[in-house]
């Protein structure tokens, strides 16, 4: 099927008539800025065929009844008078695989009641017409089933549509969900002929079972060697029963392992990622702690400096001359007291010259005799008292006969404080400078830590986004769950291995006993029945092997094709991109992983754009690998903004791959545009880029049709829906 | 207890110029508060009297004494001198005041109660004049560059410049 033309009348931002795009074979590029109607055009294709447009997630979920007059150009609704109708219409002209020209025209009428109030039926009208030799004639299709059937058979099969028509990166991620092994298996099955083999196997199992039943009945009828045959039959029944038990157990284990696989697919996280997350979390904690400590330290220093102004007395710096004045005044005061005291001491009687020592005086007092004048001095006598008075402790007290020094103590206290405050004042400045210097060193350290912290935050965001995690802690938990599931799976696999070995052993025994029974009853059994049974057994085994071989062949083919596309998109980027390998899980399903040259899985380390390029490559391979099905040659690819995660180089190679893979493709994109220097906030085609593309595609034998969506000058992007988009064929 | 001039000065509650009230609002926590609270409010002085002491020594260092007329005096005070901390610094301020007045200390021993009272008022005025002088220097700097004192260590650096 090929799309020849689309016409849009008053459909969303395409107001008025004459909005026509003609499509050619090869690559049709629809270029437009954001808000220039690319997605509305994608919606037009879907609406005309399926009566639905896309939601915010790019899914076809919004029906005509959901949106009603939202389908109609706002400008047309604004221009029309009250109580008049406006019709939104999309007409699609295609030619199907049988060469039949078909038009599909869908319309919706809305009536303007007044101002911004509208009414409509909530239902659109679809007319499908086929062209005979001369003209298009409408078909009388009745009901939705008829229409769906017609579209599926004559235009495009609906089950492959999501792989051919998609909107944005979300669309491709949904179509090729590489994290879900079942989904990928479904895709492979749907787009291959594996299901045919499944039908063969099922039919063979059925026939084999019927033949065995016939054979068993024949055995039961036989009399010869009845006893022996009965025993063999009992043994066989027992074996059959055991095999049944093992089969059931295997089924349970396999279901369990499948569930575990699904859970693991959801949590897919390698040990390397866990290690990354763990290191990341440790680094983040360390930085946070250092930041807090440094911030506290430099704030403490600032506080300390403010406190030291007072507590270390820096504030008195430069007032030492006043301290000196105080000290002079105080010394005068103290000197005055010393002088007064000296004067008082001067008033005492002088101590006699040659006064004997205290030891001699005490001896005289003891002997009650004066050794100076050599005469007795009895205790109590005047002479004794005179000797006693010579002892220093008996000298007369100095009497303070001067005015009291009332301020002495208070001034002494002030003096002590003055000494405390000033005695190290020459070191104040150096101490303050040292603290200030230390503050700025710490402040710089803090700034560096803050920068590191910001960098870590950015890395965190990248890491979390890469693994689709909400938080590092969540990721750690997820990793732990993954490990625990992994252990569970290993245990289950071991159990399955044991059960399968037992099953094999029993099957061998069963075969042996069947052979014994056959030999025993050989003469009486219908030889055709025996042959039939053998034939169907070997047919079943052969069919299974053939299916396996075909499946492997298909996966090999898919792998080769995927890598061809993957390499073509990535090889010019300069970055490492590895190789896509399809890995088989325990249930026989496949999931893709990117491996390096040593065969190590590096999927989790790849960037978002590389993973997206892998998904594109798988999708292209699925559509193109099977030449017999050849979807890429039979149906057009329609993609709206498929490549915003790619850099410029990768985008070009993706476009090239689309052009060379599909017989017809329609790609709506923002690329190959540049600011128009002659118009405010408008674009023009990047002629150099387009010329390069045309030349490349020409060499590949692919035609390129370029259409640009434009908006009249002077319109604010907010009002674009209310005005018309202009289509320019370039 | 016998009265002395130091005790009489210590019980005084010195004032500052009304016009400088905004400096106290701007740079100090009027009624104290926690250190964290003070830091949050970007105030460098934990108490009003700290800014008062700072301004006194600034005036003293720069020999700037501006007498304060009664009408110019602020209504609020900065607590009695005896309550200022640290005590050694408070004592040093008193010692400097006595030194600046220059009265020989022996004379205080002979002053009568009334004379001591009169002298203590004179000494309080010395304290207020130097503080007033210091505040006028701060105001000048603040008016020249409103952000000067927002920088860390500005008050410390101002002491040593």
Q: Which of A711, A664, A665, A672 is nearest to A693 (CA)?
A: A672
CB-hemisphere CA count at 13 Å for A512? 8
* Alpha-carbon span B133 to B131, nearest angstrom: 5
* Residue A588 binned pLDDT confidence (cut-offs 50, 70, 90): low
Q: What are phi and psi of A462, to 5 degrees?
A: -65, -45
pLDDT digits (tens, 9 = 90+) for A448-464: 998 888 888 887 777 77
pLDDT digits (tens, 9 = 90+) for A117-172: 888 888 999 999 998 878 888 888 877 788 888 988 899 988 788 888 888 877 87
Q: Following DSSP, what letter does each residue of A336-396 receive, concatenated? A: HHHHHHHHHHHTSPPPPTTPPPHHHHHHHHHHTEETTTTEE--TTSHHHHHHHTTSGGGSP
CB pairs under 8 A between A and B: 136
> A584 - beta bridge partners?
A590
* Residue A501 binned pLDDT confidence (cut-offs 50, 70, 90): very high
What number of other Cβ atoms are within 10 A of residue A343's Cβ? 11
What pLDDT shows up at residue A483? 81
- Cβ–Cβ under 8 Å, residues A639 and A168: no
* Alpha-carbon span B127 to A617, nearest angstrom: 88
Is there a contact between B153 and A405 if contact means CB atoms under 8 Å apart?
Answer: no
- Cβ–Cβ under 8 Å, residues A317 and A308: no
Chain A hits for B104, CB-CB cut-off 8 Å, are 329, 332-333
> Where are chain B's structural domains?
5-160
What pLDDT shows up at residue B1? 43
Is there a contact between B57 and A325 if contact means CB atoms under 8 Å apart?
Answer: no
Q: Which of A194, A60, A169, A58 is nearest to A615 (CA)?
A: A169
Question: Which residues, in sequence order, are CB contacts of A464 under 8 Å at separation 6+?
Answer: A470, A471, A472, A475
Domains in chain A and their CATH numbers?
2-25+34-156+661-729 (3.40.50.300), 318-426 (no CATH)
Location of structure tokens 């395409």: A14
Label residue A173 exposed, middle or buried (CB < 10 Å: 0-12, 13-18, 19+).
middle
Q: What ipTM does this complex have?
A: 0.93
* Alpha-carbon span A337 to B109, nearest angstrom: 12
pLDDT digits (tens, 9 = 90+) for A256-276: 988 888 787 766 655 566 677
Candidate from A325, A404, A436 with C-beta closest to B109: A404
Is there a contact between A314 and B156 if contact means CB atoms under 8 Å apart?
Answer: yes
A16: left (phi > 0), else alpha (psi -120 to 50), else beta? left
Question: Which residues, in sequence order, are CB contacts of B140 under 8 Å at separation 6+?
Answer: none
Is there a contact between A417 and B95 if contact means CB atoms under 8 Å apart?
Answer: yes
Q: Which of A468, A443, A539, A497 is nearest to A205 (CA)?
A: A539
What pLDDT shows up at residue A431? 93
Q: For A622-630, what is the mean pLDDT?
A: 73
- State whether residue A329 sits within 8 Å of chain B by CB: yes
* Alpha-carbon span A588 to A257, nearest angstrom: 12
Q: Which of A169, A175, A198 is nearest to A187 (CA)?
A: A175
Question: Which residues, in sequence order, are CB contacts of A545 under 8 Å at separation 6+?
Answer: none
A residues 281-320 lying closer than 8 A (beta carbon) to B: 299, 302-303, 305-306, 308-311, 313-319
Is there a contact between B53 and A310 if contact means CB atoms under 8 Å apart?
Answer: yes
- Report the DSSP pairing between strands A375-376 and A369-370: antiparallel
What pLDDT shows up at residue A722? 54
Q: Which of B93, B4, B112 is nearest to A410 (CA)?
A: B4
Is there a contact between A325 and B100 if contact means CB atoms under 8 Å apart?
Answer: yes
Q: Indicate the SS3 state at residue A588.
A: coil
Chain A hits for B88, CB-CB cut-off 8 Å, are 313, 417, 420-421
Is there a contact between A310 and B60 if contact means CB atoms under 8 Å apart?
Answer: no
Q: For A397-409, what is the mean pLDDT?
A: 85
pLDDT digits (tens, 9 = 90+) for B24-55: 888 886 544 455 554 444 467 888 899 999 99
């Amino acid at each position: 099927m090929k799309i020849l033309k689309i016409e849009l009348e008053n459909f969303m931002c395409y107001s008025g008539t004459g909005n026509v795009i003609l499509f050619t074979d090869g690559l049709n590029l629809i270029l437009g800025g954001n808000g220039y109607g690319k997605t509305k055009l994608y919606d037009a294709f879907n609406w005309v065929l399926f009566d639905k447009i896309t939601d915010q997630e790019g899914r076809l979920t919004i029906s005509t009844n959901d949106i009603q007059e939202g389908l109609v150009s706002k400008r047309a609704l604004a221009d029309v008078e009250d109580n008049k109708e406006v019709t939104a219409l999309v007409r699609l002209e295609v030619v199907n695989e049988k060469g039949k020209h078909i038009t599909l025209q869908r319309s919706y009428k809305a009536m303007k009641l007044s101002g911004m109030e509208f009414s409509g039926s909530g239902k659109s009208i679809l007319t499908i017409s086929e062209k005979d030799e001369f003209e298009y004639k409408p078909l009388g299709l009745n009901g939705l089933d008829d229409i769906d059937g017609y579209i599926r058979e004559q235009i495009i099969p609906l089950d492959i549509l999501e792989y051919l028509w998609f909107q944005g990166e979300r669309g491709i991620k949904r179509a090729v969900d590489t994290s879900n092994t079942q989904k990928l298996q479904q895709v492979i099955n749907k787009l291959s002929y594996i299901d045919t083999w499944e039908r063969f196997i099922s039919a063979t199992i059925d026939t084999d079972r019927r033949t065995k039943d016939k054979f068993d009945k024949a055995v039961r009828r036989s009399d010869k060697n009845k006893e022996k045959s009965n025993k063999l039959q009992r043994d066989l029944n027992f074996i059959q029963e055991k095999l049944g038990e093992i089969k059931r157990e295997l089924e349970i284990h396999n279901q369990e392992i499948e569930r575990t696989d699904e859970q693991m697919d959801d949590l897919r996280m390698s040990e390397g990622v866990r290690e990354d997350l763990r290191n990341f979390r440790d680094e983040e904690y360390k930085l946070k702690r250092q930041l807090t400590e440094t911030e506290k330290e430099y704030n403490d220093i600032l506080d300390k400096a403010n406190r030291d102004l007072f507590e270390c007395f820096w504030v008195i710096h430069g007032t030492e001359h006043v301290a000196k004045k105080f000290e002079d005044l105080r010394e005068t005061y103290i000197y005055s007291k010393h002088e007064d005291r000296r004067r008082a001491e001067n008033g005492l009687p002088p101590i006699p010259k040659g006064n004997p020592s205290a030891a001699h005086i005490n001896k005289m007092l003891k002997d009650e005799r004066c050794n100076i004048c050599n005469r007795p001095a009895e205790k109590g006598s005047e002479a004794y008292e005179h000797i006693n008075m010579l002892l220093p402790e008996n000298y007369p007290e100095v009497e303070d006969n001067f005015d009291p020094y009332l301020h002495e103590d208070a001034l002494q206290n002030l003096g002590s404080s003055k000494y405390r405050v000033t005695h190290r004042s020459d070191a104040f400045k150096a101490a303050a400078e040292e603290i200030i210097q230390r503050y700025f060193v710490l402040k710089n350290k803090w700034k560096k830590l803050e920068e590191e912290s910001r960098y870590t935050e950015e890395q965190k965001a990248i890491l979390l986004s890469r693994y689709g995690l909400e938080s590092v802690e969540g990721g750690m938990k997820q990793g732990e769950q993954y490990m625990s599931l992994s252990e569970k799976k290993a245990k289950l696999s071991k159990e399955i291995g044991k059960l399968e070995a037992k099953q094999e052993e029993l099957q061998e025994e069963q075969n042996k006993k069947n052979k014994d029974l056959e030999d025993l009853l050989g003469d009486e059994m219908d030889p055709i029945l025996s042959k039939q049974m053998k034939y169907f057994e070997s047919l079943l085994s052969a069919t299974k092997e053939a299916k396996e071989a075909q499946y492997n062949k298909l996966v090999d083919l898919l792998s080769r094709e995927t890598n061809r596309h993957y390499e073509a998109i990535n090889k010019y980027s300069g970055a490492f991109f590895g190789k896509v390998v399809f890995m088989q899980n325990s249930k026989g399903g496949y999931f893709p992983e990117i491996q390096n040259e040593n065969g190590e899985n590096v999927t989790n380390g790849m960037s978002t754009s590389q993973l997206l390029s892998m998904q594109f490559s798988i999708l292209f391979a699925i559509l193109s690998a099977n030449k017999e099905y050849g979807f890429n040659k039979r149906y057009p690819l329609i993609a709206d903004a498929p490549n915003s995660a790619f850099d410029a180089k990768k985008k070009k190679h993706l476009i090239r791959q689309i052009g060379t893979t599909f017989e017809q493709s329609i790609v709506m994109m923002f690329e190959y545009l540049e600011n128009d220097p002659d118009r405010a906030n408008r674009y023009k085609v990047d002629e150099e880029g387009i010329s390069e593309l045309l030349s490349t595609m020409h060499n590949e034998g692919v035609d390129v049709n370029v259409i640009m969506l434009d908006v009249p000058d002077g319109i604010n992007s907010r009002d674009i829906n209310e005005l018309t988009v202009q289509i320019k064929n370039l | 207890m016998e009265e002395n001039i130091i005790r009489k000065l210590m019980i005084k509650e010195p004032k500052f110029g009304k016009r400088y009230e905004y400096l106290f609002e701007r740079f100090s926590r009027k009624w104290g508060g926690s250190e964290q609270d003070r830091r949050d409010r970007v105030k460098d002085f934990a108490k009003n009297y700290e800014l008062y002491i700072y301004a006194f020594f600034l005036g003293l260092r720069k020999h700037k004494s501006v007498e304060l007329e009664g009408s110019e005096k602020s209504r609020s005070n900065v607590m009695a001198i005896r309550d200022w901390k640290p005590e050694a610094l408070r004592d040093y301020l008193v010692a400097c005041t006595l030194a600046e007045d220059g009265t020989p200390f022996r004379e205080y021993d002979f002053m009568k109660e009334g004379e001591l009272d009169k002298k203590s008022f004179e000494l309080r005025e010395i304290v207020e004049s130097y503080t007033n002088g210091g505040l006028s220097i701060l105001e000048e700097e603040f008016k020249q560059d409103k952000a000067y004192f927002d920088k860390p260590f500005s008050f410390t650096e101002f002491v040593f410049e």
